[in-house]
Chains A and B, each alone.
Chain A
Amino acid sequence: MTLPVTNRRLALVIGSGSVKCAAALGLWKVLQREGIALDMIVGCSGGSLYAAGIALGEDVDRFVASTLEMWTADVMSGYGSNLRAAMSREVAYTERSGLIDDTLVWERLCATYGEKSFADTRTPLAVVATDFYSGEKVVLREGRLADAVRASIAIPMIFPPWEVDGQLLTDGAVSDPLPVDVAIREGAHIILSMGFELSLRRRMRSFNAVQTHLNAIYMNNLLRASFAFYNAVHHAEIITVWPEFDEVISSFDVDKIPHIIAMGEKAAEEHVPYLKKLLQVG
């Protein structure tokens, strides 16, 4: 038997995927509606935004509104001109640089999470980032939530890395796009894994487009390789809640967030009967 008779611990792991991670709000709606409680939550990159909200026990509808306010198009302001300046060496680009001024996103993270810390969460939370210099995965479990999320969403080259307790951190997706292993190590039996593959392009007409496409390929391959390993080694159950999107969704297609949430809800609903059976003890 792969599951214990009693005390079946349920974890939710939300992986990286930029704006697609809003699908976690759809999953969260389903869990609330069905009265299914989580024992732990793990978030990585864009997934950490929602993992933190769920762990705090925020109101779903309020968090949907907060998401729409957070990811407006102006967050990406200056990307094109800064890219050109960095490529032509008009401006120096170092390991602490990014192509976007992160002032706005930091303000919005502070508006969303305020001064709340991991100690304020109702459900145990882990946020995954990556050590900028060594590439090792860093699991954050204490401190200010805004800092942890900011570090975890530091999309390489785009957002500057973020320093937490003297350690320079970048996007969690760089080391572990869907950190199911964190839930395994913490003793979860049933793991709801919500992962997202990056969309691939069919036509590329710029250096940046080719680079983005190739980045997406190796990020997707890293995701699948690590997920394959976790599936093979976990002693109990990993439920694959990966929404299948019916259209290409780019990293900052913020206008598609309502559709993304609906797709997350649909994907989660398909697993509810099985999940309820698993949670029935005896």
Chain B
Amino acid sequence: MDVVVYDERQATIIAVEGSIDALTADDFLQAMQAQISGGRTRLVADLSEVSYASSAGLRAILVALKESRQLGGDLRLAAVRKGVYRVLELSGFNSILKIYDDVETAVASYDEVAQA
């Protein structure tokens, strides 16, 4: 799994390539926690290049989601592939996470928060 992190307006994008599973979940979580501990809590996980996610990956998402929200931010998902979305759906995660079609829309969702 490869992770690239960059800022886009007031959001921080975590672009992931590969699988988010028991073998990679720790690295994925550490990448997100590094941003959260650095004060960047408005996160967007770009999952357009994620081909597989499992329960271990979901729990990493859940931990980062809780930590970012506790600090007033959020973790939002963008460009989720069909197979990964199915896992999110079967696990009920789609009902607690905000999921967007693409990164631009996910970033724009934070604009609305900033203007409020």
Sample 17 A-B pairs with CB under 8 A, ordered by A number: A2-B22, A2-B25, A2-B56, A224-B90, A224-B91, A227-B91, A228-B90, A230-B55, A234-B55, A237-B21, A237-B22, A237-B54, A237-B55, A237-B56, A240-B54, A242-B90, A278-B23
Summed over the interface, the residue pairs from A and B with CB atoms below 8 Å come to a total of 56
Chain B contacts of A239 at CB under 8 A? Answer: 54-55
Interface size class of A (residues with CB under 8 A): 20 to 34
Q: Nearest Cβ in chain B — how far from A221, in angstroms?
A: 10
The reply to whether the CB of B92 lies closer than 8 angstroms to some CB of chain A is yes
Q: Which residue of B lies closest to A239 (CB)?
A: B54
List of A residues within 8 angstroms of B19 by Cβ: 274
A278 touches B22 (CB 8 A): yes
Residues of A within 8 A of B87 (CB): 240
Q: Is the CB of A231 within 8 A of B55?
A: yes
Q: Which residues of A contact B90 (CB under 8 A)?
A: 195, 224, 227-228, 240, 242
A248 at the interface (CB under 8 A from B): no
B52 / chain A contacts, CB cutoff of 8 Å = 274
Q: Which residues of B contact A238 (CB under 8 A)?
A: 54-55
**Residues from chain A with Cβ under 8 Å of B92 in the complex:** 224-225, 227-228
Whole-angstrom distance between the Cβ of B35 and the nearest chain A Cβ: 21
Say how far A8's CB is from chain B's closest CB, in angstroms.
10
